[in-house]
Amino acid sequence: MGIHRITCHFCSMQDYFGLSGENLFDSVHYDSNNVIKAHYFGERRLCPRGNFCVELAQHKQRVGYSLIDNEFVKGREALDTVANSLDTVDKSKIAILLSGSLTLEEAFLAGKLANKWGTKFVSQISPEDEIVAGFMNNFSFASLPQMQVIISVGDIFSLHPTMAKFIHDARFAERNNFLTTVDNCSSRTSRYAWCNLKASPGKVADLMEALAKAVSGEEYSIDNTGVDKDSFQQLVSTLRDTTNACVLFAPGVGRFSEPLRVGFWAKKLAEARKFQFSAFATGANGKGISRLLNTFDFVSTNEVISAIRSGDVEALLALGCDPIESFPGLYDHFKNIKFIATTATLPTAIVEIADVVIPSYHLFEKSGTILSLVEKLTQLDDPFP
Ligand code: SF4
């Protein structure tokens, strides 16, 4: 089987590493040759979450068989049940929610199917990833350590941990690099920052707007943002003195009350001084999937969720995602949907209530295409079997 070069599916850093497991499924003998092992290439490393891919590949609770009403069935029977059940509902009221860790090919097929049914309720599971998809990135990993200023909007070290290496390389390279954080609380990232602009809860968008306007020489106000005027002015002066900076926008999930406004002004700040810019999705391919779905005439994630809340959805297909874990407050609304089918790798909450469960692969077990942070299409062509 050899070593397969695979991509971590946990976040948009898309770090790659190797997995091997000789004779894993062919031998009854359990020894060092038939356990799954991780391999690292050069300086490339994973964060602890990424290393969990090794465990996921052999997780003992892996969904291995199709289920109907929590009973094991053959795959064909499960698929027939999905088809027959969907025939009994109004097809324009079928909703499809997609994980950000699917391939573009899978998302395209889901979109095509939804078009055929005439439903508009199709979206990626994370509203923030949908927002991030609207921003084009223009940065390179290689140039990050050369930056004079790096502005992290959100907690990039927690959300995308391997970025820490590039940022620390800049910070410790004796280039007078200033790491700055803009956030609503202290964080792992802010601990290392020269300047931490900590806005009052709900005021990060106002603060980003003020920062972008101040750097552009426009009128601004930081009243009610909770930020210290001296720190703000010091940062504005530093940013006006350089074009060698990068803005990293990492909204995560539910961190900012107005993530779109925060991202808009973060991008404006970057454009005002020709800084580099990168917006980070939470899903490995969250940005790519949202952009692809935008080419269809579908509604947003929030609109799909509203339709579920108001009972306008008769059937739900959850492809690789768990809407209950993403929106736990809507548990009863999900339970009231007439028919739910899900593709799943692990027995999460949606598996408990789904009428039909179909086992699926992790991203690192699939072939296909994903969109990278540097806006390039990446082929996954060496899946772990
Ligand atoms: S930073 Fe993201 S892509 Fe990299 S190993 Fe961690 S979770 Fe995986």
Task: Catalogue the E-assigned strands of 149-220.
Answer: 149-153, 178-183, 195-198
Regarding whether 275 and 145 lie in a shared domain, the answer is yes
Could you list the pLDDT tens digit for every one of the 385 residues in the chain?
688 999 999 999 999 999 987 555 556 666 666 678 888 887 767 899 998 998 888 888 999 999 999 999 999 999 999 999 999 999 999 999 999 999 999 999 999 999 999 999 999 999 999 999 999 999 999 999 889 999 999 999 999 999 999 998 887 766 678 899 999 999 999 999 989 999 999 999 999 999 999 999 999 999 999 999 999 999 999 999 998 999 999 999 999 999 999 999 999 999 999 999 999 999 999 999 999 999 999 999 999 999 999 999 999 999 999 999 999 999 999 999 999 999 999 999 999 999 999 999 999 999 999 999 999 999 999 988 8
283 within ligand 1 shell (Cβ under 6 A): no
* Number of domains comprising the chain: 3
Give the domain-ending residue among 279, 300, 328.
279
- Residue 7 in domain: yes
- Residue 384 in domain: no
Contact 111, 120 (CB under 8 A): no
Residues 6 or more apart in contact with residue 175 via CB below 8 angstroms? 146, 148
Regarding whether 206 and 83 lie in a shared domain, the answer is no
pLDDT of residue 14: 95
- Residue 368 in domain: no
- Burial class of residue 118 (count of CB atoms within 10 Å of its CB; 0-12, 13-18, 19+): exposed
The tokens describing 312, both together, are 């306008």
156 within ligand 1 shell (Cβ under 6 A): no
50 within ligand 1 shell (Cβ under 6 A): yes
Give the domain-ending residue among 279, 302, 325.
279
At 242, which CATH number? 3.40.228.10
- Residue 372 in domain: no
- 70 lies in which domain range? 66-130+285-363
10 within ligand 1 shell (Cβ under 6 A): yes
15 within ligand 1 shell (Cβ under 6 A): yes
Give the domain-ending residue among 250, 279, 308.
279
* CA trace torsion 250, 254, 258, 261 (10° rounding): 20
Atom of ligand 1 nearest to the CA of 53: 8
Regarding whether 273 and 167 lie in a shared domain, the answer is yes
- Residue 373 in domain: no
Q: Kindly give the distance from the C-alpha atom of residue 17 to the centroid of ligand 1, in angstroms, as a whole number.
A: 10
Q: Kindly give the distance from the C-alpha atom of residue 190 to the centroid of ligand 1, in angstroms, as a whole number.
A: 20
User: 135-172 b/e with 16+ CB inside 10 Å = b?
Assistant: bebebeeeebbebbbbbbbbbbbebbbbbbebbeebbe
Regarding whether 348 and 256 lie in a shared domain, the answer is no
130 within ligand 1 shell (Cβ under 6 A): no
Regarding whether 198 and 308 lie in a shared domain, the answer is no
226 Rama class: left (phi>0) / alpha (psi -120 to 50) / beta: left
Regarding whether 226 and 340 lie in a shared domain, the answer is no
Regarding whether 359 and 314 lie in a shared domain, the answer is yes
Regarding whether 295 and 188 lie in a shared domain, the answer is no
Strand ordering across the sheet containing 71-73: 71-73, 66-68, 356-359, 339-344, 315-319, 94-98, 122-124
Give the Cα separation of 89 and 80 in Å (integer): 15
pLDDT of residue 34: 67
- Residue 300 in domain: yes
- Residue 383 in domain: no
- Residue 254 in domain: yes
Regarding whether 168 and 256 lie in a shared domain, the answer is yes
Phi, psi of 305 (to 5 degrees): -65, -40
At 324, which CATH number? 3.40.50.740
Contact 97, 321 (CB under 8 A): yes
Regarding whether 290 and 262 lie in a shared domain, the answer is no
Regarding whether 152 and 115 lie in a shared domain, the answer is no
pLDDT of residue 385: 83
Number of H helices, E strands in the chain: 14, 17
Regarding whether 115 and 145 lie in a shared domain, the answer is no
Coarse DSSP helix, strand, coil percentages of the chain, rounded to the nearest 5 percent: 40, 20, 45
